[in-house]
């Protein structure tokens, strides 16, 4: 196709990004780029170390300095740049951690300003995040919410009265240790702990989103728990709850690789009577510390080695690096041995399926997910018909392992035609006792448009499957059914409607949905309608919380790339709007301001947002190469 745009600047940027990535690759073939999810984990880590009386002052100080550097002039902390009035929960955690770290006293201006901000927002009683409430309660600063004081026999009785597996796996990993602590009314206040009682209003050390009805339920639960109904099962329930956590420790002794869940588990173990310096707790602390980023003092919620390695190696291959190159072969060797071989919680709703998926993190052996699995399968596809460079794996074994991975992904599809992240047929309605911020999103694991669309993109682009298959037609119907009235789609794991819409257009067209399909045309028109004046795209993290598109009024690299991916997928020839977008993408990659590090990864809406360092490599590389491949070259 004839085009007017000079692609030489695109090629130069592709070469620059590729060279940077090759320098960043680890000797074992992995990419270990930071998964920067904000300050929650850093604040919680300081609290944990103080409670355990682990006096690693240089490490604590490095975390505290990072936290202090992000305080706003009004005394608050934000979750993202354009959060207009700051964030109460983030401010409470950050200021508490700085006091606990000893970086400031209660009379220093940063703490005075933080306290003033907190009280102006209604005090700590207005905190709504689960993690913030748990840490304030477990460290003796607040009363335990009644909503969390569910007797363990309700969850771990024989049989339980509530099926814990209606929750998502990541919710279970955080809820189980929390309920253990809440049942014991566990509170560990270290001698150096600050006193936050006057950060509440009117001396009420309670949380507003724990309404009176839950106090009645809690009293009822307590009454029932002490009757004959649970007399013989209560002790066994405690043992089962403890074993539930122990059974889900990964090789680095983290709970399903989540630092947040691992910290809660350590506190739950203390509530169960473990010694502060028991071998298990010491191993778990070391496991959490292994999640620190290499380029900044930040404890990651989870590390992203498998995701980054799979996606970056694929992006480099698309950009022209041959599969025979040492870098890509090394990445493939790394990914091969990260394929999971254990039956785990995913098998409860997906029985009779052999394991074969991949997880997000380097040491993940129990928690595979669809998105990482399709990424790994795509990255490994060039190598399934040959032995590895050392000849250690024969052709048949390579193919059989790859096929197991593909079978696992295909088996994970839900009955509605969509794919979830971690567990098949997840509940769509969170239990009513989960009243914390973002519960409706994190408590369940239903089908999502972005994961479904990326799976369709893999099946269409790499395996050449089409929607003529009645099986895939069901997935097309699922995606189309989720389109918003304005033409956009919501993306659960990225921010948010730009992410979902770009992915949907790529996935639908990859398996044969026509570019002139009404839904496709409507989505493309929506993307064009929100294009910024500079030619790029940007969306606020607030979209993820309020569930409708909120403009950022600035352009970010990854969101510009996602929008362009969708438009390129449906446009037979280059257009002025696409070319303006490409120019804006190149400019966004060269800016050294907040837009470059704006979080475009979704964690927990209203609480955790993620800046993937890899996002500014993966998506721009794929977009720039896609433009050249489709519209020609000089």
Question: Which residues are designated catalytic?
Answer: 371
Looking up tokens 């496991």, which residue turns up?
287
**Distance between CA atoms of residues 502 and 507, nearest Å:** 9
Angle, vertex CA 81, rays to CA 80 and CA 84, nearest 5 = 95
Long-range pairs for 385-391 at CB < 8 Å and ≥24 separation? 388/329, 388/332, 388/333, 388/336, 389/329, 389/333
Residue 560 · residue 581 · CB < 8 Å: yes
Sign of CA dihedral 37, 503, 473, 488: positive
DSSP class per residue in 276-328: TT-HHHHHHHHHHHTTB-SSSS-B-SS--HHHHHHHHHHHHHHTT--TTSHHH
Residues 6+ apart with CB under 8 A from 566: 501, 502, 503, 504, 505, 506, 523, 524, 527
Query: How many angstroms separate the first and last alpha carbons of the chain?
Result: 12
Give the DSSP letter of residue 73. T
Closest CA to 67 of 35, 104, 116: 104
Backbone angles phi, psi at 19, to 5 degrees: -65, -40
Give the DSSP letter of residue 143. P
In terms of phi and psi (left: phi > 0; alpha: psi -120 to 50; beta: otherwise), the region of 303 is beta
Give the DSSP letter of residue 147. G
Beta bridge partners of 382: none
The three state secondary structure string of 532-576 is CCCCCCCECCHHHHHCCCCECCCCCHHHHHHHHHHHHHHCCCCCH
In angstroms, the Cα distances linking 118 to 75, 88, 198 are: 9, 6, 10
Residues 6+ apart with CB under 8 A from 537: 498, 527, 530, 531, 555, 556, 559, 560, 562, 563, 564, 581
Residue 138 · residue 181 · CB < 8 Å: yes
Residue 121 · residue 89 · CB < 8 Å: no
Residues 6+ apart with CB under 8 A from 295: 34
User: H or E segment at 603?
Assistant: strand 601-604
Residue 148 · residue 206 · CB < 8 Å: no
**Distance between CA atoms of residues 130 and 574, nearest Å:** 47
């Amino acid at each position: 196709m004839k085009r007017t745009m000079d692609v030489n600047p695109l090629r130069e940027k592709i070469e620059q990004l590729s060279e940077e990535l090759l320098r960043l690759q680890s000797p074992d073939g992995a990419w270990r780029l930071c998964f920067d999810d904000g300050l929650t984990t850093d604040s919680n880590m300081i609290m944990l170390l103080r409670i355990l009386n682990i006096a690693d002052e240089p490490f604590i100080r490095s975390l505290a300095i990072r936290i202090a550097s992000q305080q706003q002039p009004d005394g608050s902390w934000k979750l993202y740049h354009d959060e207009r009035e700051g964030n109460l929960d983030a401010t409470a955690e950050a200021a508490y951690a700085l006091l606990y770290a000893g970086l400031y006293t209660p009379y220093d201006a940063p703490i005075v300003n933080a306290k003033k901000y907190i009280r102006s927002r209604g005090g700590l009683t207005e905190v709504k995040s689960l993690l913030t409430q748990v840490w304030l309660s477990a460290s003796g600063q607040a009363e335990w919410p009644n909503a969390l004081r569910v007797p363990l026999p309700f969850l771990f009785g024989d049989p339980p009265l509530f099926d814990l597996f209606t929750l998502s796996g990541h919710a279970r990993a955080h809820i189980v240790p929390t309920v253990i602590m809440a049942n014991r009314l566990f509170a560990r206040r270290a001698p150096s702990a600050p006193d936050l009682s006057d950060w509440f209003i009117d001396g009420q050390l309670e949380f507003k989103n724990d309404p009176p009805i839950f106090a009645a339920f809690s009293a009822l639960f307590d009454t029932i728990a002490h009757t004959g109904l649970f007399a013989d099962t209560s002790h066994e329930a405690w043992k089962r709850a403890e074993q539930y956590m122990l059974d889900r420790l990964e090789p680095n002794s983290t709970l399903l690789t989540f630092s947040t869940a691992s910290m809660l588990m350590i506190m739950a173990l203390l509530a169960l009577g473990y010694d502060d310096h028991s071998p298990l707790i010491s191993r778990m602390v070391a496991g959490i510390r292994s999640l620190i980023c290499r380029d900044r003092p930040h404890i990651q919620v989870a590390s992203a080695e498998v995701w980054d390695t799979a996606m970056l190696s694929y992006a480099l291959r698309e950009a022209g690096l041959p599969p025979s190159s040492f870098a890509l072969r090394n990445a493939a060797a790394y990914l091969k041995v990260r394929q999971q071989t254990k039956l785990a919680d995913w098998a409860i709703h997906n029985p009779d399926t052999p394991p074969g998926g991949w997880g997000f993190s380097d040491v993940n052996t129990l928690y595979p997910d669809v998105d990482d699995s399709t990424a790994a399968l795509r990255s490994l596809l060039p190598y399934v018909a040959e032995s590895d460079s050392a000849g250690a794996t024969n052709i048949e074994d390579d193919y059989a392992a790859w096929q197991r991975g593909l079978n696992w992904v295909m088996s994970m599809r839900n009955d509605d035609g969509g794919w979830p992240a971690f567990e098949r047929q997840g509940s769509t309605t969170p239990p009513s006792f989960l009243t914390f911020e973002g519960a409706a999103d994190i408590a369940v694991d239903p089908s999502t448009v972005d994961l479904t669309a990326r799976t369709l993109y893999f099946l269409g682009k790499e395996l050449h499957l089409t929607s003529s298959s009645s099986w895939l037609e069901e997935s097309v119907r699922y995606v189309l059914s989720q389109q918003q009235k304005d033409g956009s789609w919501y993306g659960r794991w990225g921010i948010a409607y730009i992410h979902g819409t770009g992915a949907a257009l790529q996935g639908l067209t990859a398996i044969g949905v026509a570019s002139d399909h009404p839904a496709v045309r409507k989505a493309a028109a929506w993307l064009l309608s929100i294009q910024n004046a500079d030619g790029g795209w940007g969306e606020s993290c607030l979209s993820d919380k309020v569930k409708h598109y909120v403009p950022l009024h600035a352009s970010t690299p990854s969101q510009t790339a996602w929008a362009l991916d969708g438009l390129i997928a449906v446009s037979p020839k280059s257009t002025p709007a696409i070319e303006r977008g490409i120019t804006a993408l190149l400019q966004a990659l060269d800016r050294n301001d907040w837009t470059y590090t704006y979080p475009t990864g979704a964690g927990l809406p209203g609480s955790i947002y993620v800046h993937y360092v890899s996002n500014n490599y993966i998506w721009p590389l794929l977009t720039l190469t896609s433009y050249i491949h489709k519209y020609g070259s000089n």
